[in-house]
Structure 1
Amino acid sequence: MNDASLPTSPSARRPVWTSVLWAILAVGLVLGGAWAYARIKSPYPFYGTVFNVETTSPGLTGTGEDGQPFALSALRGQTVAVFFGFLHCPNICPTTLAALEQVRQTLPEKDRAKFRTVLVTLDPARDDVDKLREYVRFFSPSAKGVFIPEPALADTAAAWGVGYQKSDVKNAATYQVDHTTGVYLVDREGRRRVVWDSTQLTRVDRVAADVREVMR
């Protein structure tokens, strides 16, 4: 008799279903473990995009708005919001700096001196140190401006993942600068922790919550 013609008994099918059930259980355990691990590694649900906590921020050196040499590493011990923009920016740059000052004002008074905004100009041809100082101080007494000449600026921007280029050029002194609008939050140990797009800064409460978490 041909064994293939025989009906399959329930007992013969049971191992298949058992294997399926075990597979489902295994997948559930793996997914549950992955979720738990993620919660342990980053229990706080950041509003911005999170960097690997072990990643040190790229270097950032130039001339500060006070005319003195500037190095981001000198701000270790403070939490710093780094933004790349330019002074002739019609909307994104001023609203970003205003929002970051609002964030600073929402912090407990004891923490406000530990949070600082740094604006790196992407337009060194027009934005000199004196103009930088006047611009950043308009938004916050604690804000820093950084001037970096080309080609060092291009290298610095690339290291931070910032793109920029001139646009709508009318002449040598009249143009716009298209640029990446991310704001990078650097913790007191010099590590990039979070990046927000400028569109997220309208939620000052959520940005401030991210800052408070990083400052803990």
Structure 2
Amino acid sequence: MSLRMLFALAALCLGGALHGADNTPLPGDSLYHLDVTLTDQDGRDFPLASLRGKPVLVAMFYTSCRYICPLIIDSARGVEHALDASERDGLRIVLVSIDPDRDDVAALKRISDRRRLDTGRWSLVRTDAASVRRLAAALGVRYRALADGEFNHTSELVLLDADGRRRASSEASGPVPVESFLQATRALLNASRNDPPGD
């Protein structure tokens, strides 16, 4: 086999790894139909649809929030800590900023570092204002900018399956997760071990 063919084969394999091996059509109610680009706390850009492949716990927040948003992080961590090691490895946690004007990569990184979040599982992300509105609408999150630069917003955690379909939700409740939401998360993680995306 020629060197050129080896490089082409390697590029094809790498592309499949980056974009996910599953090319089956998304279900009609998948969040991943939204054409949204996210930027994480390390400055990496990725399409929303690249989250496909494993369950995702997603919430919306902003970094300068002093009351509700720390509770949102505590709630997501509470779910994470209640899972066993194999369950944790199957779950991704994504927090989307509702404040793209102020929440640049440095602001996201600061919160990630301060809260000692495992960036192997956690992504704090930003996107443009129009995409924030679309994501909030799709997730059922309500928010409103206030005159002082703060936001009124709901504190919902949303559990998505591997295909980006909403499977459960819970209001942020602190480090002890709501039992019904934790059970739904565990059930989805266990089911995902056996069922490939698209089933």
TM-score by length of 2: 0.70
- Say what the alpha-carbon RMSD is for the aligned residues: 2.4
Question: In 2, are the aligned partners of 1:104 and 1:208 still within 8 Å (CA)?
Answer: no
Q: How does 1:38-187 map to 2 (within 5 A)?
A: 55-58=29-32, 59=34, 60-137=36-113, 138-141=115-118, 142-169=121-148, 175-187=149-161
| 8 A contact 1:188–1:215 mirrored in 2 | no
1:109 Cα deviation after fit = 0.9
Cα deviation digits, residues 56-99 of structure 1 (max 9, x gap): 22534321222111233222222111101111111211111122
Q: Which has the larger radius of gyration?
A: 1
**Structure 1 pair 118–87 and aligned structure 2 pair: CA distance change class (3 A):** same
After superposition, the Cα gap between the structure-2 partners of 1:193 and 1:210, relative to the gap in structure 1 and judged at 3 Å, is same
Give the aligned partner of residue 207 of structure 1: 181
- How far apart are 1:163 and its partner, in Å? 2.4
Write out the 4+ residue segments of structure 1 that deviate beyond 4 Å after TM superposition.
199-202
Q: Look up the equivalent residue of 2:140 and give its one-letter code.
A: G
Native 8 Å contact 2:159 2:169 kept in 1: yes
Provide the aligned length of Structure 1 versus Structure 2.
159
Aligned to 1:24: none
Q: 1:101 to 1:201 in 2, by over 3 A?
A: closer
Contact 1:87 1:135 in 2 (8 A): yes
Superposed CA deviations along residues 134-163 of structure 1, whole A, max 9, x for unmatched, are: 213425212101111223322332333322
8 Å CA contact 1:97, 1:139 repeated in 2 = no
In structure 1, distance between residues paired with 2:163 and 2:134: 23
* Cα distance in 2 between the residues matched to 1:204 and 1:153: 26
Aligned CA distance change for structure 1 residues 199 and 102 (closer, same or farther; 3 Å)? closer
More displaced 10-residue stretch of structure 1: 113-122 or 188-197: 188-197
Cα displacement (A) at 1:110: 1.4
Gaps of 5+ in 2: 1-26, 191-199
TM-score (norm 1): 0.65
Identity of aligned residues (%): 29
Separation of aligned partners in 1, 2:138 and 2:174 = 23
